[in-house]
Amino acid sequence: MARSSKAPNVSADLGRPETPEETAARKAQQSRLYRQRKTVNNLVYSLLVTVGLALVIFLLVPHSDTSPNWAVDYQKVAAQAQATVKTPLVTPVMPADWRANQAKIKMSSSDKVVVWYIGFVTPDDTFIAYRQGLAANDTWTASILTDLKPTGTKTIGGVEWQEFNNRSAEHPGNLAYALVTVKGTDVFVLNGNAGDKDFAALAANISAQIGK
Protein backbone atom coordinates (compact mmCIF):
# COMPACT_ATOMS: atom_id res chain seq x y z
CA MET A 1 0.00 0.00 0.00
CA ALA A 2 1.47 3.36 -1.06
CA ARG A 3 2.05 5.97 1.63
CA SER A 4 1.28 9.69 1.24
CA SER A 5 4.38 11.77 0.51
CA LYS A 6 2.86 14.80 2.26
CA ALA A 7 4.51 15.46 5.64
CA PRO A 8 2.25 16.19 8.58
CA ASN A 9 2.12 19.76 9.91
CA VAL A 10 4.27 19.93 13.02
CA SER A 11 3.50 22.69 15.49
CA ALA A 12 6.55 24.37 17.03
CA ASP A 13 4.51 25.18 20.10
CA LEU A 14 3.08 21.70 20.52
CA GLY A 15 6.16 19.70 19.53
CA ARG A 16 3.96 17.23 17.70
CA PRO A 17 1.91 17.01 14.50
CA GLU A 18 -1.23 19.13 14.50
CA THR A 19 -4.56 17.50 14.57
CA PRO A 20 -6.91 18.31 11.71
CA GLU A 21 -8.90 20.53 14.10
CA GLU A 22 -5.78 22.44 15.16
CA THR A 23 -4.74 22.91 11.55
CA ALA A 24 -8.16 24.29 10.66
CA ALA A 25 -8.10 26.67 13.65
CA ARG A 26 -4.59 27.91 12.74
CA LYS A 27 -5.57 28.59 9.16
CA ALA A 28 -8.74 30.37 10.28
CA GLN A 29 -6.67 32.58 12.61
CA GLN A 30 -4.20 33.37 9.82
CA SER A 31 -7.07 34.23 7.49
CA ARG A 32 -8.63 36.52 10.10
CA LEU A 33 -5.35 38.32 10.75
CA TYR A 34 -4.84 38.74 6.99
CA ARG A 35 -8.28 40.30 6.59
CA GLN A 36 -7.62 42.66 9.50
CA ARG A 37 -4.32 43.82 8.00
CA LYS A 38 -5.98 44.29 4.64
CA THR A 39 -8.79 46.35 6.18
CA VAL A 40 -6.29 48.61 7.99
CA ASN A 41 -4.25 49.01 4.80
CA ASN A 42 -7.40 49.95 2.86
CA LEU A 43 -8.34 52.55 5.49
CA VAL A 44 -4.87 54.11 5.38
CA TYR A 45 -4.98 54.17 1.59
CA SER A 46 -8.42 55.78 1.56
CA LEU A 47 -7.26 58.42 4.05
CA LEU A 48 -4.23 59.26 1.93
CA VAL A 49 -6.40 59.56 -1.17
CA THR A 50 -8.85 61.86 0.65
CA VAL A 51 -6.07 64.11 1.98
CA GLY A 52 -4.50 64.21 -1.47
CA LEU A 53 -7.77 65.25 -3.12
CA ALA A 54 -8.35 67.94 -0.48
CA LEU A 55 -4.87 69.32 -1.11
CA VAL A 56 -5.43 69.39 -4.87
CA ILE A 57 -8.75 71.22 -4.44
CA PHE A 58 -7.14 73.74 -2.08
CA LEU A 59 -4.34 74.44 -4.57
CA LEU A 60 -6.75 74.82 -7.47
CA VAL A 61 -9.10 77.30 -5.73
CA PRO A 62 -7.88 80.93 -6.03
CA HIS A 63 -7.04 82.59 -2.70
CA SER A 64 -6.97 86.33 -2.06
CA ASP A 65 -4.13 87.88 -0.09
CA THR A 66 -6.40 90.69 1.12
CA SER A 67 -8.77 90.51 4.08
CA PRO A 68 -12.45 90.09 3.11
CA ASN A 69 -14.71 93.09 3.47
CA TRP A 70 -17.56 92.10 5.75
CA ALA A 71 -19.09 95.61 5.80
CA VAL A 72 -22.86 95.73 5.32
CA ASP A 73 -24.36 98.35 3.01
CA TYR A 74 -26.68 99.67 5.71
CA GLN A 75 -27.94 102.53 3.55
CA LYS A 76 -29.20 100.01 0.99
CA VAL A 77 -30.76 97.90 3.73
CA ALA A 78 -32.39 101.05 5.14
CA ALA A 79 -34.06 101.79 1.80
CA GLN A 80 -35.40 98.23 1.64
CA ALA A 81 -36.56 98.33 5.26
CA GLN A 82 -38.33 101.66 4.81
CA ALA A 83 -40.62 100.07 2.27
CA THR A 84 -41.97 97.78 5.00
CA VAL A 85 -42.96 100.45 7.55
CA LYS A 86 -44.74 103.82 7.48
CA THR A 87 -42.65 105.48 10.19
CA PRO A 88 -39.57 107.27 8.79
CA LEU A 89 -36.45 105.31 9.67
CA VAL A 90 -33.60 107.44 10.95
CA THR A 91 -30.40 106.16 9.39
CA PRO A 92 -27.10 107.74 10.44
CA VAL A 93 -24.76 108.73 7.63
CA MET A 94 -21.30 108.07 9.00
CA PRO A 95 -17.84 108.54 7.44
CA ALA A 96 -16.30 105.79 5.31
CA ASP A 97 -14.10 104.56 8.17
CA TRP A 98 -17.25 103.58 10.06
CA ARG A 99 -18.54 100.14 9.07
CA ALA A 100 -21.72 98.23 9.76
CA ASN A 101 -21.57 94.54 10.55
CA GLN A 102 -25.35 94.18 10.61
CA ALA A 103 -28.44 96.13 9.56
CA LYS A 104 -32.02 94.91 9.80
CA ILE A 105 -35.55 95.71 10.82
CA LYS A 106 -37.06 93.25 13.27
CA MET A 107 -39.66 92.85 15.99
CA SER A 108 -38.62 92.39 19.60
CA SER A 109 -39.77 89.06 20.97
CA SER A 110 -41.01 90.29 24.35
CA ASP A 111 -42.61 93.68 23.66
CA LYS A 112 -43.46 93.25 19.96
CA VAL A 113 -41.76 96.56 19.22
CA VAL A 114 -40.60 97.07 15.63
CA VAL A 115 -36.89 97.93 15.74
CA TRP A 116 -34.56 99.40 13.15
CA TYR A 117 -31.08 98.14 14.07
CA ILE A 118 -27.54 98.85 12.86
CA GLY A 119 -24.35 97.46 14.42
CA PHE A 120 -21.55 99.99 13.89
CA VAL A 121 -17.83 99.21 14.06
CA THR A 122 -16.01 102.46 14.76
CA PRO A 123 -12.68 103.63 13.27
CA ASP A 124 -11.03 102.36 16.49
CA ASP A 125 -12.58 98.90 15.98
CA THR A 126 -14.91 99.35 18.92
CA PHE A 127 -18.66 98.79 18.71
CA ILE A 128 -21.89 100.77 19.02
CA ALA A 129 -25.34 99.26 18.54
CA TYR A 130 -27.94 101.67 17.22
CA ARG A 131 -31.67 101.04 17.63
CA GLN A 132 -34.74 103.00 16.69
CA GLY A 133 -37.71 101.52 18.50
CA LEU A 134 -40.91 102.41 16.66
CA ALA A 135 -43.68 103.28 19.12
CA ALA A 136 -41.46 101.87 21.85
CA ASN A 137 -41.98 101.86 25.59
CA ASP A 138 -39.92 101.94 28.80
CA THR A 139 -40.03 98.17 29.12
CA TRP A 140 -38.39 97.76 25.72
CA THR A 141 -35.64 100.24 26.63
CA ALA A 142 -35.03 98.52 29.97
CA SER A 143 -34.76 95.13 28.25
CA ILE A 144 -31.89 96.46 26.11
CA LEU A 145 -30.03 98.15 28.93
CA THR A 146 -30.83 95.38 31.44
CA ASP A 147 -32.11 97.93 33.93
CA LEU A 148 -28.99 100.12 33.98
CA LYS A 149 -29.52 103.32 35.96
CA PRO A 150 -29.07 106.69 34.23
CA THR A 151 -25.97 108.60 35.30
CA GLY A 152 -26.79 111.99 33.81
CA THR A 153 -27.78 113.80 30.63
CA LYS A 154 -25.91 115.22 27.66
CA THR A 155 -27.05 117.69 25.05
CA ILE A 156 -25.67 116.62 21.68
CA GLY A 157 -26.61 118.47 18.51
CA GLY A 158 -29.34 120.33 20.31
CA VAL A 159 -31.00 117.10 21.52
CA GLU A 160 -30.94 115.92 25.13
CA TRP A 161 -29.71 112.36 25.60
CA GLN A 162 -29.91 110.33 28.78
CA GLU A 163 -26.54 108.88 29.69
CA PHE A 164 -25.78 105.44 31.15
CA ASN A 165 -22.11 105.18 32.11
CA ASN A 166 -21.35 101.61 33.15
CA ARG A 167 -17.65 101.54 32.26
CA SER A 168 -16.54 100.96 35.84
CA ALA A 169 -18.38 97.62 35.96
CA GLU A 170 -16.46 94.38 35.64
CA HIS A 171 -16.63 93.07 32.07
CA PRO A 172 -19.49 95.38 30.95
CA GLY A 173 -19.16 94.32 27.30
CA ASN A 174 -21.50 96.24 25.01
CA LEU A 175 -23.24 97.78 27.99
CA ALA A 176 -20.19 99.81 29.00
CA TYR A 177 -21.91 103.00 27.88
CA ALA A 178 -25.30 103.99 26.47
CA LEU A 179 -27.24 107.03 25.30
CA VAL A 180 -31.03 107.20 25.00
CA THR A 181 -33.36 109.86 23.63
CA VAL A 182 -37.03 110.02 22.67
CA LYS A 183 -38.60 111.69 19.66
CA GLY A 184 -42.39 111.48 19.50
CA THR A 185 -43.27 107.84 20.06
CA ASP A 186 -39.88 106.55 18.93
CA VAL A 187 -37.00 105.71 21.27
CA PHE A 188 -33.38 105.88 20.09
CA VAL A 189 -30.80 103.77 21.93
CA LEU A 190 -27.03 103.67 21.48
CA ASN A 191 -24.97 101.18 23.47
CA GLY A 192 -21.54 99.64 23.18
CA ASN A 193 -17.92 99.76 24.25
CA ALA A 194 -16.74 102.74 22.17
CA GLY A 195 -15.30 105.95 23.57
CA ASP A 196 -17.10 109.23 24.19
CA LYS A 197 -15.89 110.72 20.91
CA ASP A 198 -17.47 107.97 18.79
CA PHE A 199 -20.71 107.99 20.79
CA ALA A 200 -20.92 111.76 20.41
CA ALA A 201 -20.31 111.56 16.65
CA LEU A 202 -23.08 108.98 16.15
CA ALA A 203 -25.51 110.77 18.48
CA ALA A 204 -24.85 114.09 16.72
CA ASN A 205 -25.69 112.55 13.36
CA ILE A 206 -28.97 111.20 14.72
CA SER A 207 -29.75 114.47 16.51
CA ALA A 208 -29.33 116.37 13.23
CA GLN A 209 -32.14 114.27 11.74
CA ILE A 210 -34.61 114.03 14.62
CA GLY A 211 -34.07 117.54 15.89
CA LYS A 212 -35.50 119.16 12.76
Query: 133 and 204 in contact (C-beta within 8 Å)?
Result: no
Q: State residue 94's pLDDT score.
A: 94
The stretches in the chain having pLDDT less than 50 are 1, 4, 57, 62-68
The set of long-range contacts for 31-37, using a CB threshold of 8 Å and a minimum separation of 24, is none
Q: State residue 159's pLDDT score.
A: 96
Q: State residue 137's pLDDT score.
A: 87
Three-state secondary structure call for residue 79: helix
Q: State residue 35's pLDDT score.
A: 73
Going from N- to C-terminal start, the domains of the chain cover 11-60, 74-210
How far is residue 24's CA from residue 21's CA, in Å, rounded to a whole number?
5
Query: 9 and 23 in contact (C-beta within 8 Å)?
Result: yes
Which is nearest to 117 in space by CA: 127, 128, 102, 131? Answer: 131
What's domain 74-210's architecture? 2-Layer Sandwich (3.30)
